[in-house]
Amino acid sequence: MTEAKLAPHLPDWMQDHARRYLSSGGTDGHMYKASPPGYPAMTVPSLLLTTTGRKSGEKFIFPLFYGQVGDSYLIVASKGGAPEHPGWYRNILADPNVEIQVGTARMKARARTAAGEERARLWEKALEFWPPYADYQRKTEREIPVVVLDPVR
131-141: pLDDT as tens digits: 999 999 999 99
Neighbours of 94 (CB within 10 A): 11
- How far apart CA 103 and CA 29 sit, in angstroms, is 8
Specify which residues 139 forms β-bridges with.
Answer: none
CA distances from residue 133 to 54, 65, 104, 126 in whole angstroms, order as listed: 26, 11, 26, 8
pLDDT of residue 33: 93
pLDDT of residue 2: 45
Q: Which helix (H) or strand (E) holds 65?
A: strand 59-65
What is the reported pTM?
A: 0.94
Q: Say whether pLDDT at 27 is over 60.
A: yes
Q: Say whether pLDDT at 81 is over 60.
A: yes
Residue 114: closest CA among 150, 84, 142: 150
pLDDT of residue 1: 43
- How far apart CA 5 and CA 26 sit, in angstroms, is 16
